[in-house]
Structure formats: structure tokens, C-alpha cells
Amino acid sequence: MFKKTLACTIALAAMLAAGSAMADTKDKKIALSNNYAGNSWRQAMLKSWDKVTKPAVEAGIVAAADPFTTSENQVTEQAAQIQNLILQGYNAIVINAASPDALNGVVKQACDAGIVVVSFDGIVTEPCAWRIAVDFKAMGASEVEYLAKKMPEGGNLLEIRGLAGVFVDDEISKGINETVAKYPQFKIVGSVHGDWAQEVAQKAVAGILPSLPEVKAVVTQGGDGYGAAQAFAAAGRPTPLIIMGNRQDELQWWKEQKDANKYETMSVSIAPGVSTLAFWVAQMILDGKEVPKDLTVPFLRIDQDNLEASLATTEKGGVANVEYTAEDAAKVVAGK
């Protein structure tokens, strides 16, 4: 009896060690609940999901991996959508949530129904769910750290923030402001909301620029760097060092400046392919693997020397991206 159990355990352990994803999840269904699709980042996120999950379904790793997006970026609508997904009998729901706490009720319902809930990007705080979070504060801090190294003499900074009232905007801005406080040679002389959109950023920067003294650098949140560059050009002011956010138009502009006058900056943002990491994490949990509830994904940074390589792999009009394989996901889970 003991021998048999031992043999079983060893067999199981061997199977787990081999990382064979086929084992238990071939009849499991995973759903993606997404709250918004109206910008290029979200479009890239959905595209990555399709690109990785379709082959996974064909290979029989899971039975289904269907994406669902709500039309209005609203909590009530997403809650109703998740309730439908529970009734439809999905085994796992991967969520990009409209709110960190307003969906907790319905997430709890899903957990109680025995469904694995994995949230990413827009995470939920309900303890029964898994969270794949980005350290946005560290992302903001990294921008200022870069500037401190690049221009030790310091200078005036213009901050472009994201969408007011959103958790991500507060976190990145906190990271930027706290780090600026550490380097007294920098001073934020203006702060505008660019809503992560080029048009809005361009408009806001054009408005505040005439009233500002010389700006040495612009700290951003992604999706706003190109608009800022255009506003500076339109005002006839020298182009400052603008931190970019991995959008193709931003990288393209950076490349043109680099070729023309050796312009130097860096670019940082979250890869939309984080949705595929969430997919593999959900699959691993369904497979019975031990996964910690809180995971952190690294952000994707592009520097002067890998600009060309990143630009070449970024689709025209898209966002620099990385998609995750099952092995990559296993590494993130193991904390490497």
C-alpha cells in the first residue's frame, strides 16, 4: 500500500517537474473578462490573448479560452458579465477589472462556485483571487532615477499624468514625485493630465507651455510622449528629454531624432502581453500547481541600444510587446 502511494507520488512529482501542461486541463474552459477595448494598448492585449490561446486550445492544453469585452467601461456591466461567465460554467476567469474593489462581490461568488479567478493589470482586492500586478510606483521612480543619472546637473521637469482618479495614475505619479524629492536638483514646474492619449497630452502641454520656464525633461506615463514632442515643436521650443511609453509612434519619433541629432532617452511601459501571462497562470492553477496569490510582472523598458530591435518587432501603430510562454509564466511564478 505504502509502496503504491509512494510510486504514485513519485510519478506525480515527475509529471509536475516535467512541466507537462497537458495533464489535467484539457477539458477546462478559461474566460477573459475585459472592461475596455478603446485604445491601442487594449487592442494589443486582446490580440496577444488570441495569438497565444488559440494554439493552446488547438494543442488541447485547454478546452476553451474565450475573450469577452464590455462595451462601456463600467463596473455594473462587468459584474453582470462575470455572473454570466459563472453560469456558463467556465473553470477559470481571467479579469482585467474596471475597479479594484467594486467587483469583489461577484469575484467572491465566482470563487465560491469553485472558479479560479486571476486578475491582472486592473487587479481586484478580493483575497480569494490571484493578482498579477505591476509595480507602477517603481516604474515612475525608474524614470527619475534615469534622469538623475543622465543629467546630474538637474533642471525643470514637466509631468504628464494619466487619467485623473485612476489608481494607476496615482501610483506612477507618486513614484515620480517621491523620487524627485530625493533629488533636489530637479523641480517639477508643471503637471497636466494627458489621459494616456497623444491628442489630449498635446493639447494640455500646448496650453501650459507658454507659461513655463525652460523645461529640461518631461516625465510621462506612456501614450503621451509623442503628443508632448509635437506640442514643444509647435511652440518653437527646444525639444527636452521626453521619457517615452513604448508606443510605436513614440519609438518611431525617437528613432528619427536619434538618427538626426543623437537624441537620447528611454522608454518604459507595461507589455500588453501580460494577458497571456495571466492565461498561463490560470492554466497552472487549474493544473493543481502551487501559485502564490500575489505576483509581480516586470515592466518592459527600452533603451538607446535596443531601440532599433524593439521598433522592428513593434507593429505599426501598436505597442512594444512581449508574449509569455508556459515556461516564462512558470519562471514568474517561481519568482525568477
Partner 1 sequence: MNQSFAYLKKQPWVWSFAAALAVWLITIAYTEGQGATAILTAALSFATFTIIVGLGQMMVITTGPGNVDLSIPATITLSGVVAMKVMDEQTAMIIPGIVAALGAATLVGIFNYGLIRLLRIPPIIATLSSSFLILSTAISYGRGIRIKPPLPLSDFATARIFGVPLSAILVLVISIGLAVVLKRTVYGRSVLAVGQNMRAAWLAGMNVDRTRFATYVLSAFFSGICGIVLSGFSGGAALNMGEEFLLASIATVVIGGTSVAGGRANVPGIWGAALFMYLLVTMLNTFGASAGVRLILTGLMIIGVIVAAGGEEQR
Which residues are near partner 1 by CB under 8 A? 37-40, 42-44, 47, 71, 161, 164-165, 190-193, 195, 197-200, 202-204, 206-211, 226-227, 230, 234-235, 247-249, 315-318
- Least distance from partner 1 to the Cβ atom of residue 232, Å: 12
C-beta of 109 vs 257, nearer to partner 1: 257
- Least distance from partner 1 to the Cβ atom of residue 247, Å: 8
C-beta of 143 vs 224, nearer to partner 1: 224
C-beta of 44 vs 291, nearer to partner 1: 44
C-beta of 130 vs 253, nearer to partner 1: 253
C-beta of 245 vs 318, nearer to partner 1: 318
C-alpha distances (whole Å) from 121 to each of 34, 130, 276 are 10, 12, 12
C-beta of 199 vs 303, nearer to partner 1: 199
C-beta of 43 vs 125, nearer to partner 1: 43
- Least distance from partner 1 to the Cβ atom of residue 10, Å: 49
- Least distance from partner 1 to the Cβ atom of residue 179, Å: 19
- Least distance from partner 1 to the Cβ atom of residue 187, Å: 12
> Which residue in 218, 215, 232, 206 sits closest to 267, CA to CA?
218
- Least distance from partner 1 to the Cβ atom of residue 84, Å: 19
- Least distance from partner 1 to the Cβ atom of residue 97, Å: 19
- 300-302 and 267-269 strand pairing: antiparallel
